[in-house]
A and B are shown apart, each in its own frame.
Chain A
Amino acid sequence: MTYLFQIFNGIGIGMLYFLLAVGLSVIFGLLQFVNFAHGAFYLLGAYFTYDLVERGYSFWVAMPLAAIMVMALAALTEIVLLRRIYKLPHTFHILVTVGLALIIQEMTIIVWGPLGGNVPPPEGLNGVIIVGDFIYPEYRLFVIAFTAVLAVGLWWVLEGTRIGAIVRAGSESSENTALLGYNTLRINSAVFGLGAGLAGLAGALAAPIRGVEPFMGLEALGIAFVVVVIGGMGSYTGALLAGILVGVTQSVMASLWPEGARLMIYLGMALVIVAMPRGLLGRA
């Protein structure tokens, strides 16, 4: 019975991982850009939420606002800095985004201090659901439902709309979008902003679960990479599947062999790449 709970809990963790990773995946798919600053946008999303809630705003205002602020900031960064380096080798993508992540992390410490803080779950969601032996926080349940709705919405945007078609065309080659007569530059900024904004949203949603501290971005980055690589870079459904897989592995391993949980995840990641180079659902 415990395993059933662990699997359910794992899906809960996994949905958050999906949200965190899908932005990275989309950015990679469209821009062929390795973004080591993705975790830093997650960090910012969490801290913006923290700051707004501390100022007395409701979580329901703070959460979307934080995501939008991160999105705007990321789009601005793209316009000012990142679009200058797309054409450079990956080495420089790494250098710039590692630098960016360091700057954001240290700025966080300067502005909010090194200690970190707590974001209480919103009113009405701070209780627990009890089903027999199983207890689950209402807020986590909300996160699962919310991300599920969001996942469907995103899927619809990417698969069913013109924007999605452009993004998908662009991920095959940027000349495609240009051929379609769209402004590639503007689309790039929008997609980068959207991807980072999703990381920011993941941070905002995670804040009441994990609290905030200046180094939460590093852990998030590691998980996002694992999910993207297992799921396949640029693959939306891949990120969803892999996010849930990683979450469930982590949760079930907590019962089986806790100290080996991370080992299994990275071993799994290596195995997937070796056996299925494009990831589980990556495009060839």
Chain B
Amino acid sequence: MINRRRLLQSGAIAGASLLLPGLAGRAFSASEAITVGIPVPISGPFAANGKFASLGGILAAEEASREFGRQVKTLDLDTEGKPATAVRKVQDAFDNNGIKLYAGGILSSESLAMGKEALRRNGVFITTAGADEITGTDCNAATFRWSVPTYGAIEQTVRPLVDMLPDAKRWYTITPQYVFGDGLLNVAKDIFKEKGIEHVGNSYHSLTEKEFSGYLTNAIAARPDVLLILNFGSQSSDTLRQAVSFGLKNRMTILVAWASGLEQFEALGPDICEGVYFGAQYWHGVDTPGNQALVKSVRERFDLTPNYSLAGSYILTKLLVDAAVKAGSIDGDKVAAELRGKTYEGLTGEETIRAQDNQVIKDYYLLKGKAKKDMADKDDFAEIVSQGKSFLSPEDAGCKMG
């Protein structure tokens, strides 16, 4: 159903932009429709994220339509998880549909590339992707990021866990070999040094790895007290699943620092997740008015519990639309100016968009997996152990905005 409607919409938008070649670059009237592009992987290995992101965008658009009394729509753009396709779809949406607002980008590579494109075309791009460069060394005026960077993810998971487990002095890490993994690892190493923790070993692995038994064998031999898993997505699921089968859960504490949230719990099941610590950008159990409202409306509208992809896409779309309405324009510079420095009541409580690097300042969560018998409902996989905000200064993050 959604798909068919989407097609009709895109046809309608295309028609509109043909008739109104001068659409871009001028302030719009209150009756004009606002369209937000949702560039996410809908086919390919990250299809699950795209599917939920699409729903989140739709929900935000529907709410905005009601709130502002004007048509607000989303247009899904299938990036296939490839930067080349992502950029092509975004370029097309700029040219053919007159879309200047984009909320999406699951993978770091596609998000970095789309951010650059948004800047070139005077659009705005806001994302939940993992690459710190987005609001760090590759930051730009048109690109915003909602997700907490690697620094905060480690500070809000490793540090509280170190404090909770004063006897756990030996930590072992498993890290994906690329910028993101190294980002997490370096922050963790700093905390280890500060707290006098022995880093008994690290295993790097490639982004295509699926078999982690070799790394786990290394980890066991190092006799750690805590196993810190620093990869993400299906790789962290594979690592955790195999770690549990090697009986590591009984021998050490396990922390997955960058978990994907509910999707991951669903795929792994409570037996594996019980007693394991997870770091998360979002959790549907967060006790804030904004989140409770979202959980309620997602259950009513889609009969689902919002996961990170859905919630992230929802808040991104909402931020863009609110800013565009307030700015009275969909031009990138005007919308971005509206977003910059804004403080609002978000899903995780009070959130602020830092003006210097376009990074959203929000909480990161440390969760602990519940036993099956303790789950209140089928999605109640974890409890929130701690939460908080930790961010590098824009200078330390390396952002120099032109």
User: Is A187 an interface residue, CB under 8 A from the partner?
Assistant: no
B interface, over-half SS: helix
Residues 195-223 (chain B) with a chain A CB within 8 angstroms? 203-206, 208-211, 213-215, 217-218, 220-221, 223
Residues 41-62 (chain B) with a chain A CB within 8 angstroms? 45, 47-48, 51
Bound-state Cα–Cα, A253 to B214, Å = 8
Q: How far is the CB of B200 from chain A (nearest CB, A)?
A: 13
Contact across chains for A116 and B214 when beta carbons are under 8 A apart: no
Question: How many residues of B sit at the interface, in one of the four size bands?
Answer: 35 or more
13 A-B contacts (beta carbon < 8 Å): A6-B214, A13-B211, A13-B213, A116-B48, A117-B269, A118-B272, A120-B269, A140-B245, A209-B245, A213-B267, A219-B208, A252-B214, A254-B205
Q: Which residues of B contact A137 (CB under 8 A)?
A: 245-247
Contact across chains for A140 and B267 when beta carbons are under 8 A apart: no
Contact across chains for A133 and B206 when beta carbons are under 8 A apart: no
User: Is B234 an interface residue, CB under 8 A from the partner?
Assistant: yes
Bound-state Cα–Cα, A210 to B234, Å = 10
Contact across chains for B45 and A5 when beta carbons are under 8 A apart: no
Q: How far is the CB of B315 from chain A (nearest CB, A)?
A: 22
Contact across chains for A117 and B267 when beta carbons are under 8 A apart: yes
Contact of A128 among B204, B218, B246 (CB under 8 A): B246
Give the interface of A toward B (CB within 8 A).
Answer: 1-2, 5-6, 9-10, 12-13, 109, 113-118, 120-121, 126-128, 130, 133-137, 139-140, 208-211, 213-216, 219, 250-255, 258-259, 261-262
Q: How far is the CB of A98 from chain B (nearest CB, A)?
A: 15
Contact across chains for B211 and A211 when beta carbons are under 8 A apart: no
User: Is B271 an interface residue, CB under 8 A from the partner?
Assistant: yes
Contact across chains for B268 and A259 when beta carbons are under 8 A apart: no
Closest residue to A263 on the B side, CB-wise? B206
Bound-state Cα–Cα, A262 to B205, Å = 10
Q: Which residues of B contact A113 (CB under 8 A)?
A: 48
Closest residue to A215 on the B side, CB-wise? B45
User: Is B237 an interface residue, CB under 8 A from the partner?
Assistant: yes
User: Is B89 an interface residue, CB under 8 A from the partner?
Assistant: no
Q: A127-B247, A133-B221 are in contact. Are A259 and B205 (CB under 8 A)?
A: yes
User: Is B238 an interface residue, CB under 8 A from the partner?
Assistant: yes
Q: Which residues of A contact B241 (CB under 8 A)?
A: 118, 209-211
Closest residue to A116 on the B side, CB-wise? B267
Bound-state Cα–Cα, A5 to B209, Å = 20
Contact across chains for B269 and A118 when beta carbons are under 8 A apart: yes
User: Is B338 an interface residue, CB under 8 A from the partner?
Assistant: no
User: Is B9 an interface residue, CB under 8 A from the partner?
Assistant: no
Contact across chains for B206 and A115 when beta carbons are under 8 A apart: no
Contact of A115 among B48, B214, B215, B238 (CB under 8 A): B48
Q: Which residues of A contact B45 (CB under 8 A)?
A: 214-215
Q: Which residues of A contact B246 (CB under 8 A)?
A: 128, 135-137
Q: Which residues of B contact A118 (CB under 8 A)?
A: 241, 267-269, 271-272
User: Is B92 an interface residue, CB under 8 A from the partner?
Assistant: no
CB-based closest 3 A-B pairs = A254-B214, A128-B247, A114-B48
Q: Which residues of A contact B263 (CB under 8 A)?
A: 115
User: Is B242 an interface residue, CB under 8 A from the partner?
Assistant: yes
Q: A118-B241, A137-B245, A258-B205 are in contact. Are A210 and B268 (CB under 8 A)?
A: no
Contact across chains for A2 and B234 when beta carbons are under 8 A apart: no
